[in-house]
Structure 1
């Protein structure tokens, strides 16, 4: 989690006179910079020096949560006017290694520790079916109280401000709310017996939840609560809407997606938070859309919610990519760049049934992915497996990666420049594209790690 991006999520205040300093060191950086955002807007891009250190001055810092991020990691940061914070982190073990020093360090180290404890809640959810709803409610509330007790003890010792204590209590509260929402989803989808046993007051917290907390809009736990609440809302809505029950259990069903979009638009009015929620829901729907009509329906719903036109255009670009993954679509004329520097079309390189996988030099996992692909090449010699690199216009980085990792040069290409912003292709890094020898899509909805991956290969061969 690391970016220095200051996305101010705290409340405005009149005493913003003192300068605040943020700096630190990133061990094993993944990029050469950190970003600083405030309320969803980029304040600055701060580059790392030769020692992988950075520094930034905020002349008018607000009390409250900021978001610190170094792609692909993000971390909350609590800032008060006059603070002078230094952080040190190793990206190889980000959450476990992050440490703050300087003025304001106690609050931020406490926040980091609470984040790790919240992550541990996921282990509890792995065995959710061991706990009937009433028992799970007691466990969740006990965890909540333990967190509050720890805050009270440390606040007294470290002399935390009333502002920070109030904010920390809210962060802990919404982590509790989110834990219950995640449990509700698991029970509703996978354990119908427990779904009938919820105590009458289990979801009472929803009555008091604030869906427009300006102070918490940067909190990962708060945003996760909103997302999971919306998921559970859409499942409940679907169950009473007369739709097929199988569709109700699918979070990517177009009606389910649009129900979440409508509810998010109704509940959330904070501009930045509302925008990010709507886009996140829509992205999932578009990437998994089963038809052109579904893509259009999602985009039209976003337009009904008055999402900015630039965001609508982004969804259109994403939808254009998804169209290429729909069965029956021809991608024969898609342009690629070969290792000799020549532009070719997919149709020029197809000789037999083919599986296409996407990868990027800057995304971890491509080495392991290629190893798996090589295993399938040996097992299925009647199928070609072609890698398409997405680092458009970055030929040297691509060529070096192919050479240094000994990737099979007979099956490596780079996507040619396109009008679609390359960032949108990243949503498809895990999706595999199954083509017949003519370049027509047979399947575009299977993942390399899916249990159905080999079955889909056999279906391709048996066409």
Structure 2
């Protein structure tokens, strides 16, 4: 008996390829364009948005009556593009002459995604490496407990297996050098990132001084690192490596000047200035450099520092960045953070509950409360944050936890996610004006949370519910064991 869904899938593949090859015969330069089409099962809405290699919107499509779309790229630049639908996000590697169709089910977005057509094999391989890296990343805490020599051997053996498997794939499939560089970068930089993160997990803040005692060959790969890989600037494994690498190098620099065994302070001014110095000296590509400068500075100023410290770091950043838009945004962030210091009232903003009713944020707070945020664009983050809050609620029955969605959409996607995962709706909200709210509350990353008391006085403007010390921090805050940071 035929599978009707598979039959429709094959039919769409044939239709797409027919359109592709039919159109190609009419083009003088067949190497400058490609086709991408898709079918979405159980769509969240009728929109599919396509982003180019610069992270800018290429086009927005309406799904037809069969929940399908097709797009022709002209003057195509080889690279990693991305498609979003209903808050989900997925990358696709496109090169001239590709004619790719994908099919996915929104109930299992990542795992259900399958490509067919010319260029499909490389994308299916890329998806498999993403999913594999995601699973391995979850196990890093467990791996990081083993001794440095054993950890180094484990990471290197795993990397070799992945590269060998990839080379076996290439022996049977003729793929471009660009594709080869993307997969090899994904394998290598993911392994390198694990090594850069390792000492922070293994030694912890109390014994991080032993970072200088790691085996000599532990970081041998650093000689091959490309700090200016512009084609990888939106690539997760590359950015994950660069972020952790800068932290690691700055820690080494720190212990060249501090030989004592005091607890390591990630928020120390000299340590964070050292990060900016390293970025400025190691990287010449302006896009990569400016992004790292921005995010490392933002991480520092978003912590609960004094206004003086925040301004000092801001000035240090402004002298190094060449991106005027970033610099303007950082000035606005530091300005917003002045209103979010401990002891200040929480700025009042309008929120909308699950039933569509509008409230002032202060009106829904009547006890010590943790306000946490999530984006529809990050399934892992919104699932994990809600599961973590469920765990925290059992430990802190006298504390409220308010969930606020950050996206600018019509609310249907937001509600669909809440319903699909059976999240309790009572404390679920979205901002009436998300852009304004994110600026005022300085929510630049979704793992940020704000703790207030029953009078909406800020107890802490920037905590992370996933940190291992968060339960202790929250307990101290609600028991009024906090200090108001001096101005």
Shared fold, TM over 0.5? yes
Contact 2:376 2:413 in 1 (8 A): no
Confirm whether residue 434 of structure 1 aligns to residue 449 of structure 2: no
Q: Find out whether 1:200 has 2:216 as its counterpart.
A: yes
Matches of 1:273 and 1:288, distance apart in 2? 23
| Aligned equivalents of 2:147, 2:359: Cα separation in 1 | 60
Q: Secondary structure at the match of 1:86?
A: strand
Go from structure 1 to structure 2 and tell me whether the alpha carbon gap of 1:375 and 1:264 turns closer, same or farther (over 3 Å shift). same
- Check conservation: 2:368, 2:453, Cα contact below 8 A: yes
Q: Deviations over 1:324-379 (max 9, x none)?
A: 43213234x73547989888694x888x76436255795846977897898789x4
1:231: which partner in 2? 247
1:457 and 2:484 matched: no
Which SS does the other structure have where 2:97 is aligned?
coil
Whole-Å separation in 1 of the counterparts to 2:134 and 2:95: 26
TM-score (normalizing by structure 1)? 0.76
Change (3 A) 1:288 1:90: farther
* Matches for 1:262-281 after TM superposition, within 5 Å: 262-281=277-296
**TM-score normalized by the length of structure 2:** 0.73
Q: Indicate if the aligned counterparts of 1:361 and 1:398 stay in contact, CA closer than 8 A.
A: no
Deviation at 1:420, TM superposition (A): 3.6
Contact 1:121 1:179 in 2 (8 A): no
SS at match of 2:92: strand
Q: Which whole-Å deviations, capped at 9, do the CAs of 1:272-305 have from their partners, x for residues lacking one? A: 3333322322332232232222332332233112
| Partner residue, 1:53 | 68
How much does 1:241 deviate?
3.6
- State how far apart, in whole Å, the 1-side matches of 2:159 and 2:133 are: 10
Is 1:210 matched with 2:226? yes
Contact 2:310–2:334 (CA under 8 A) maintained in structure 1: yes
Between the aligned partners of 1:96 and 1:398, the Cα distance in structure 2 is 20
1:145 Cα deviation after fit: 1.7
Asked if 1:178 is matched to 2:193, the reply is yes
State the secondary structure of the residue aligned to 2:35.
strand
CA displacement 1:166-202 (0-9 Å, x = unmatched) = 4433432323322322224323436669746522122
> Equivalent residue for 1:119?
134
Alignment of 1:46-445 (within 5 A): 46-49=61-64, 51-70=66-85, 73-122=88-137, 125-189=140-204, 195=211, 198-242=214-258, 248-250=264-266, 252-331=267-346, 334=348, 336=350, 346=362, 354-355=368-369, 357=371, 364=382, 379-380=397-398, 385=400, 387=402, 420=436, 422=438, 424-425=442-443, 427=445, 430-435=448-453, 437=455, 440-445=457-462
Partners of 1:77 and 1:108 within 8 A in 2: yes
**More off after superposition, 255-264 vs 140-149:** 255-264
- How many residues matched? 437
SS at match of 1:459: coil
Contact 1:39 1:272 in 2 (8 A): no
Report Cα offsets for 1:200-250 as digits up to 9, x if no partner.
Answer: 122121122110113333322122111111110122222234499667442
Task: Give 5+ residue unaligned stretches, structure 2.
Answer: 1-28
Aligned-pair CA distance for 1:430: 4.7
* Contact in 1 for aligned 2:371/2:401 (Cα 8 Å): yes
Q: How many angstroms apart in 2 are the aligned matches of 1:419 and 1:149?
A: 46
In structure 2, what is the Cα distance between the partners aligned to 1:431 and 1:73? 22
- What is the Cα deviation at residue 102 of structure 1? 0.9
Q: Are 1:132 and 1:197, in contact at CA under 8 Å, matched by a contact in 2? A: no
CA distance in 1, matches of 2:268, 2:213: 27
Q: CA deviation at 1:19?
A: 1.4
**Kindly tell me: are residues 18 and 425 of structure 1, through their superposed partners in 2, closer, same or farther at Cα, counting changes over 3 Å?**
same
Are 1:23 and 2:37 matched, yes or no?
yes
Distance 1:114 1:359, change over 3 A: closer
C-alpha distance in structure 2 between counterparts of 1:345 and 1:176, whole Å: 43
CA distance in 2, matches of 1:392, 1:148: 38
SS in 1 for 2:50: strand
Change (3 A) 1:376 1:227: closer
- CA 1:139–1:194 in structure 2 vs 1: closer, same or farther (change >3 Å)? farther
Secondary structure of the 1:240 match is helix
5+ long unaligned stretches in structure 1 = 1-14
Q: Is the 8 A contact 1:336 1:416 kept in 2?
A: yes
CA distance in 1, matches of 2:391, 2:136: 32
Which SS does the other structure have where 1:306 is aligned? coil
Q: Which residue of 2 aligns with 1:7?
A: none
Taking the aligned partners of 2:438 and 2:191, their CA distance within structure 1 comes to: 38
